């Protein structure tokens, strides 16, 4: 009997060791499964970027009749072929929407401008002017950057600014003036992005970075005077154009969301039509310019919307630059749209001549003296 005792103890030890190791492995697996479930169920039952992709995919349920082309495109076809339809785009979209939600929760209206290699000087100058005159505006702005090099520069030069990367096809960055079809693709990308932001139930102030902000407009835009409007826009002195396309508040109302979904679907439908039969030249690269076109021609899409025009003395267009110094001072302008002028250099020279170019050149870089 004693001779069998060591064998029995060893066998028992081995068995308990195996059981202990097996329990440990099962425990680790259970913990990993639990973590996976928690991450996947976060924010409405899907991974954050996947949820936002689904949100974009479901912009149309029953399809749409495209009045410009006279064709009907099914909702399923639109969802399968949406421009925002891959994992990288969806992740970028999710990060962008997270910033929109955060800023909207803190400040209400979110100011949004788009930056790329071409207009980066204007974006830097706008941020520098805001740092000097209206820090509250900087806290509300989200800069959407459409190319990687400009995004890296923005992070390095303006680390405290809410910046989101939302890339477009690299070819679109440099061919907007050469190809109407390229401009259309750029426009569609921005239209889809803006739809996703509005679906966060946040009011979005979309503005061109070359607009000149002399005062913060947010108190006026948030006032009861515009509480029932779907769109609040700056005026223009151009004949037959009721609104300027450089400064527009889009309120996340049911009417505007319905109109924006239809605008998005109509533009998406163009992808599936014979390219030679589409007048691509009619499509600008900016969503505000396209919206201004629809409003000006009384489109069925924008007809139900309530469009409020801001007062001319506070929100003049580019003709303000042509006035005398005393007239400009007397007007008490708040935001000036930089139109009635063509080309980046001419627009910069016009702003610089009046002392509103804040960036200073240091070697190969431009810096803002009001930000340390």
Q: Does the structure show a pLDDT above 60 at 149?
A: yes
**Rg, the chain, Cα only:** 27
Rounded Cα gap, residues 68 and 267, in angstroms: 10
Buried b (16+ CB within 10 A) or exposed e, 221-240: beeeebeebbbbbbbbebee
Question: What are the tens digits of pLDDT across the range 232-282?
Answer: 999 988 777 788 888 999 999 999 999 998 888 888 777 666 666 666 667
**pLDDT band, very low/low/confident/very high, at 12 (cuts 50, 70, 90):** very low
What is the DSSP code (8-state) at residue 322? G
Q: Which two tokens stand for residue 25?
A: 């492995």
Residue 31 in domain: no
- For residue 275, give the nearest of 83, 69, 82, 81 by alpha carbon: 69
Partners of 72 in the β-ladder: 65
Token pair 């072929």 in the structure block, residue: 81
Domain of residue 295 covers 48-367
Residue 7 in domain: no
Partners of 165 in the β-ladder: 145
Residue-level pLDDT at 216: 94
Rounded Cα gap, residues 35 and 41, in angstroms: 10
Residue 43 in domain: no
**pLDDT band, very low/low/confident/very high, at 52 (cuts 50, 70, 90):** very low
Rounded Cα gap, residues 58 and 195, in angstroms: 11
Question: What are the tens digits of pLDDT across the range 200-238?
Answer: 899 999 999 999 999 999 999 999 999 999 999 999 887
Coil, helix or strand for 231? strand
**pLDDT band, very low/low/confident/very high, at 39 (cuts 50, 70, 90):** low
Partners of 233 in the β-ladder: 248, 309
Into how many domains does the chain fold?
1
> Mean pLDDT over all residues of the chain?
77
Average pLDDT rounded to a whole number, residues 174-178: 46
Q: Does the structure show a pLDDT above 90 at 144?
A: yes
Residue 144 in domain: yes
Q: How far is CA 56 from the centre of its chain?
A: 14
Residue-level pLDDT at 187: 80
Rounded Cα gap, residues 232 and 308, in angstroms: 5
Average pLDDT rounded to a whole number, residues 182-205: 86
Question: What are the tens digits of pLDDT across the range 65-117?
Answer: 444 334 444 444 444 444 444 445 667 878 888 899 999 999 999 999 999 88
Residue 335 in domain: yes
Q: Does the structure show a pLDDT above 90 at 336?
A: yes
How many residues are recorded in the chain? 372
User: Does residue 291 or residue 188 have the better pLDDT?
Assistant: 291
CATH number for the domain spanning 254: value is: 3.90.550.10
Rounded Cα gap, residues 135 and 140, in angstroms: 9
Rounded Cα gap, residues 289 and 295, in angstroms: 10
Q: Does the structure show a pLDDT above 90 at 340?
A: no
* Sign of torsion over alpha carbons 137, 142, 143, 148: positive
Cα-Cα end-to-end distance for the chain: 85
Residue 32 in domain: no
For the chain, percent of residues with pLDDT exceeding 90: 31
Token pair 């919307």 in the structure block, residue: 305
Locate all alpha helices (DSSP H) within the chain, ordered by sequence.
5-45, 48-57, 75-80, 87-107, 120-133, 135-140, 148-157, 180-198, 218-221, 254-269, 287-296, 325-331, 344-353
User: Are the beta carbons of 190 and 167 closer than 8 angstroms?
Assistant: no
Average pLDDT rounded to a whole number, residues 306-315: 94
210 CB-near residues (< 8 Å, 6+ apart): 119, 122, 126, 246, 338, 347, 351
Residue-level pLDDT at 136: 85
Residue 204 in domain: yes
Residue 327 in domain: yes
């Amino acid at each position: 009997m004693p001779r069998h005792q060591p064998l029995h103890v060893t066998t028992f030890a081995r068995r308990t060791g195996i059981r202990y190791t097996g329990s440990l492995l099962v425990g680790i697996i259970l913990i990993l499964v639990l973590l996976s479930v928690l991450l996947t169920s976060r924010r409405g039952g899907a991974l954050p970027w996947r949820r936002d992709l689904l949100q974009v995919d479901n912009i149309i349920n029953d399809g749409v009749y495209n009045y410009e082309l006279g064709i009907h495109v099914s909702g399923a076809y639109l969802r399968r072929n949406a421009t925002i339809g891959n994992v990288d785009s969806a992740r970028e979209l999710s990060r962008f929407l997270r910033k929109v939600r955060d800023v909207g929760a803190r400040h209400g209206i979110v100011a949004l401008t788009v930056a790329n290699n071409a207009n980066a000087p204007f974006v830097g100058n706008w941020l520098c002017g805001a740092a000097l005159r209206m820090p509250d505006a900087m806290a509300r702005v989200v800069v959407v950057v459409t190319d990687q090099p400009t995004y890296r520069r923005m992070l390095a030069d303006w680390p405290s600014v809410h910046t989101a990367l939302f890339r477009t096809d690299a070819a679109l960055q440099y061919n907007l003036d050469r190809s109407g079809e390229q401009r259309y693709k750029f426009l569609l990308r921005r239209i889809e992005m803006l739809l996703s932001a509005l679906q966060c139930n946040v009011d979005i102030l979309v503005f061109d970075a070359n607009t000149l902000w002399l005062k913060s407009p947010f108190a006026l835009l948030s006032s009861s005077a515009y509480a029932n409007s779907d769109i609040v826009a700056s005026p223009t002195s151009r004949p037959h154009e009721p609104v300027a396309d450089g400064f527009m508040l889009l309120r996340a109302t049911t009417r505007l969301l319905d109109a924006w979904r239809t605008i998005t679907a109509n533009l998406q439908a163009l992808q599936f039509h014979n390219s030679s039969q589409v007048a691509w030249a009619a499509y600008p690269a900016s969503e505000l310019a396209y919206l201004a076109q629809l409003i000006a021609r009384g489109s069925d899409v924008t007809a139900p919307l309530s469009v409020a025009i801001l007062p001319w003395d506070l929100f003049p267009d580019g003709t303000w630059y042509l006035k005398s110094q005393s007239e400009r001072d007397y007007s008490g302008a708040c935001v000036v749209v930089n139109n009635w002028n063509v080309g980046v250099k001419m627009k910069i020279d016009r702003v610089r001549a009046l002392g509103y170019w804040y960036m200073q050149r240091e070697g190969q870089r431009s810096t803002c003296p009001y930000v340390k």
